[in-house]
Amino acid sequence: MRNPDSHKGENGKVAIIGGSSHIHGAPIFAALAAEASGVDLVFITIPACNAEAAKMASLNFQVYPFQTDELTRDDVNVTLQMLAIMDCAVIGPGLSRNAKTQSAMEQIITGCPCPMVLDATALQPNTLSLVAGRNAVITPHLGELERMDMKQDQIAEHAQRSGTVILLKGHIDHIAAPDGTVRLVEGGNAGLTVGGTGDALAGLIAGFIAQKMEPVEASALASTLIKKAGDQLYSEQGFSYTTEDVIERIPRLMHEMSLVA
């Protein structure tokens, strides 16, 4: 229940850092999902070539382009200054995997002063060491988990050792908490393999964390909502639905679940 006397910005500020010259949709999906969670403000930091697409996606987005069409060290300081006033940040969706971008991304992760949700390119073999002991959620699928040199039966151990929430995406989502417990979220269907649903999940988690929800609960709720939206859409139109369709369902589902005032 939000405070009826609250002002703009007091109900959550989320930053999204992602995108490349070839992938513009991933950070925008994350931003749209964060917006759908009910946060007050969404800041999106993306390649200069994608700035207009982000502006057209929502009138509520505050768009901060990279200096060029890729994230580089020239973007690190200004990005960290922005993160200093955020309640949560999503880092990784759509970022290039070249050495310069990954180096800049690691500097941002290391210096980030707010809670983080890390996805896609931000999921590397050294990710857990970068976020150990900090307020972070990582959202790998099985391929990304393998890239991080982890196995599914090890996620509880790694979550406990690092103090990080690990949400392993799949037919059944596995959410490993820092206390060593694992929560399962069932539901959904094969239509959720469409591009962008993982980005939306990351943005939704960040939106809930920004509204003061604990990371484990935020992860479980976001997973549940994405799967419920997919099930509704499948019942109406089969597998022919998109990530935008999923995101559009989130506010009504939250209302039906009495998650909004």
The predicted structure's pLDDT at residue 1: 59
The predicted-structure confidence for 137-153, as pLDDT tens digits, reads as follows 999 999 999 999 999 99
Point out which residues pair with 7 in neighbouring strands: none
The predicted structure's pLDDT at residue 261: 43
Point out which residues pair with 185 in neighbouring strands: 173
The predicted-structure confidence for 192-215, as pLDDT tens digits, reads as follows 999 999 999 999 999 999 999 999
Query: Within 10 A of 151 (CB to CB), how many other CB atoms are there?
Result: 12
| Residue 83 pLDDT greater than 90, yes or no | yes
Task: Locate 38 and state its tokens.
Answer: 């009910």
In a domain, 8, yes or no: no
Q: Give the mean pLDDT of the chain.
A: 95
In a domain, 261, yes or no: no
- How confident is the model over 10-39, as a mean pLDDT? 96
Structural domain range at position 205: 13-256
| Residue 5 pLDDT greater than 70, yes or no | no
CATH number at 22 reads: 3.40.1190.20
- Count the helices and strands in the chain (H runs, E runs): 10, 9
The predicted-structure confidence for 39-78, as pLDDT tens digits, reads as follows 999 999 999 999 999 999 999 999 999 999 999 999 999 9
Structure-token match 């009495």, residue found: 258
In a domain, 1, yes or no: no
- How confident is the model over 110-127, as a mean pLDDT? 98
The predicted structure's pLDDT at residue 162: 97
33-36's contacts with Cβ under 8 Å and 24+ in sequence apart are: 33/199, 33/200, 33/201, 33/202, 33/203, 33/204, 33/207, 33/247, 33/250, 34/90, 34/203, 34/204, 34/206, 34/207, 34/210, 35/60, 35/61, 35/207, 36/204, 36/207, 36/247, 36/248, 36/250, 36/251
In 7-154 the beta strands, taken as DSSP E runs, fall at 13-17, 41-46, 61-65, 88-91, 116-118, 136-138
- How confident is the model over 227-234, as a mean pLDDT? 98
| Residue 168 pLDDT greater than 80, yes or no | yes
68 CB-side CA count, 13 A:
10
In a domain, 84, yes or no: yes
Where residue 4 falls among pLDDT bands split at 50, 70, 90?
confident
In a domain, 44, yes or no: yes
Structure-token match 């964390």, residue found: 209
- How confident is the model over 176-185, as a mean pLDDT? 97
Question: What is the count of structural domains for the chain?
Answer: 1
Structure-token match 């109406």, residue found: 236
Tell me the backbone φ, ψ of residue 63, rounded to 5 degrees. Answer: -100, 125
In a domain, 166, yes or no: yes
Report the percent of the chain where pLDDT is more than 90.
Answer: 94
In a domain, 173, yes or no: yes
